[in-house]
Structure 1
Amino acid sequence: MKSSMFFAAVASLMPTLAMGLVGISWNVTGVPSSGLRNITFPFNIAQTPHRSGYYFAQQFNFVGQRDVGYAGLQPRPDSNGQPIIHGVFSSFIAGTTTSDPNCHTGADGGPGVSCSVDFPGRYADTWNVEISNVVGTTWRGDLFNTVTGSRVHIGTYTLPPGTQGIAGNQLGFVEYYPWNSGTHTCNSLPYSSVTFGVPRSSVGRGSLSDAFEYGDCVGKVGYRSSRDALGVRVQVGF
């Protein structure tokens, strides 16, 4: 596919984020028509400063639904001498319900459900965001530390009747959410680094595209990207 056609295609899938910075598409092959029953998105934020502002996420669709879900990590300031990570698992689908204490109704001011948790976690380790079907249209999001084997529950929600499994492709993104309100200067973006790991499911291993910039600061935020053993590393900021 020509690059212009590729970017036109992925643009239609981009999250409706005013200040998104970087996108990256993912794909899993061999997905049944009813969708995936589970998917794992690895993330490594070892070089990211411990401060709020960034959201590193993968976006996903459910078969039979137009709107999306997000899941990912956000850095936080240390607390009581411990590093803190914020895990997120959200649905933007109207009619989503939850009884999980980590979740609440609404997502970014619209319909859906948002689930999140702050927890002491080592930035140096790779964290897998694991999304899995519980039963029917109920899904859970969890974090798994690939070094220590520890698990952290993010949340659980139930999608509307008739919703099927997770579709086999979508996009991830890097967002600096303080820029979502008010003006900003591109060269004032704080530094961050994240590696998006190659997604996988019980049907097999997926793939990642090269990362790409989007938004109103393209070429102005110190963007660089490279591939490593885990996946695609993205750095932005100064």
Structure 2
Amino acid sequence: MKPTASFLSVAAVISFLPTTKALVGSSWTVTNVPSTGLTDITFPLTIVEADHISGYYFAQQFGFVNSRDVGYTGLQPRPNQNGKPVLHSVFSSFVAGTTTTDSNCAAGADGGPGVSCSVEWNGVYGRTYDLEVKRNGPSLWVGTAIDTVTGARIHIGSYTLPAGVGGIQSRQAGFVEWYPWNGGEPLNHCAHLPYQKTLFGHPRTTHLGSLGTQGVAYEYGDCVGQVAFRTEKLLIGGVENNCGFKGQTGL
């Protein structure tokens, strides 16, 4: 059967998802995007439930006009500090030639070219954080986590893309990854996946007439059908997904 255009679009997006130990994907689209790309996009993300340990990465990818490479932004649980929960937020570019002068950032992204930025704060599980990606000037991009209850803006980092790289494209995908397995898996590893439940809200932009949609989540990788995966659309907008097993630590 000849693939439809929509199938080819989804397949192209999936091909950009991490080939590491990611478990869940969820494609997103934005309508009415200019040929030069968007100058901002915001991804609502809620970690409803996850153990307060390092390991999970809940992220959204975004592509740039005139570049084959992508950026990420997302949240990661961390162990409590002084009895208080901690969240770790990431803002990365995988575009070769990306530079930064931001103290929250460093050269390189997952062992390759680009820039990675991060910050930690006493975040709240079950609270929605708006992950804002915004261009400030011709080529400087700024990542911010916005607390939707208090309005506090947490600066993640900033980087400058090479000349000629445009704005954010109209479609990409989010993912859920258990990254400790990238360095090696325990025996029967899928059965040891910790439980998580997250909400990926519809992406937003200030571009007039544009509307964002987050697609239903799907499994991929080597644990398909083995981690009690579940997903559903939310009446409030966006998609819920959960997988893994309570009491497990990934070891």
Q: Give the shorter-chain TM-score range.
A: over 0.9
For residues 172-196 of structure 1, the C-alpha deviation after alignment (integer angstroms, 9 at most, x for no partner) is: 1000001111123111101111100
Q: 1:94 aligns with which of 83, 93, 96?
A: 96
Alignment of 1:1-238 (within 5 A): 8-15=11-18, 17-184=19-186, 185-203=189-207, 204-228=210-234, 229-238=236-245
Q: CA, structure 1 residues 10+192, in 2 after alignment: closer, same or farther (shift >3 Å)?
A: same
Partner-residue secondary structure (3-state), 2:50 = coil
Contact 1:195–1:230 (CA under 8 A) maintained in structure 2 = no
CA distance in 1, matches of 2:44, 2:51: 19
**Structure 1 residue 4: deviation in Å?**
6.8
Q: Name the SS of the counterpart of 2:49 in structure 1.
A: coil
Could you tell me whether the CA contact under 8 Å between 2:32 and 2:211 is conserved in 1?
A: no
Q: 1:44·1:127 contact (CA, 8 Å) conserved in 2? A: yes
Residue 10 of structure 1 deviates from its aligned partner by 3.5
Identity %, equivalent residues = 54
Matched residue of 1:180: which SS?
Answer: helix
Counterpart secondary structure, 1:47: strand
What's the TM-score, normalizing by structure 1?
0.95
Bigger shift: 44-53 or 148-157? 44-53
CA distance in 1, matches of 2:170, 2:191: 36
- Asked if structure 1 preserves the Cα contact closer than 8 Å seen for 2:215 and 2:238, the reply is no
- 2:60 aligned partner, one-letter code: Q
Amino acid at match of 1:235: N
Task: Describe the superposition over 1:122-167 as per-residue Cα deviations: whole angstroms up to 9, x where unpaired.
Answer: 1121000000001111100001011111110000000001111000
Within 2, Cα distance between the matches of 1:164 and 1:43?
A: 25
Higher mean C-alpha deviation, range 141-150 or range 176-185: 176-185
3-state DSSP class of the match of 1:135? coil
The gaps in structure 1 that reach 5 residues or longer are none
Once superposed, what is the RMSD of the aligned Cα atoms?
A: 1.6
Residue 6 to residue 83, structure 1, CA distance change in 2 (3 Å):
same
Residues 79-126 of structure 1 deviation map (CA, whole Å, 9 limit, x = unaligned): 111110000000001100000000000000000000000111111210
How many residue pairs get matched?
Answer: 237
Greater shift, 53-62 or 176-185, is seen at 176-185
Answer whether contact 2:14 2:173 (CA < 8 A) is retained.
no
**Letter of the aligned partner of 1:227 in structure 2?**
K
Letter in 1 for 2:15: S
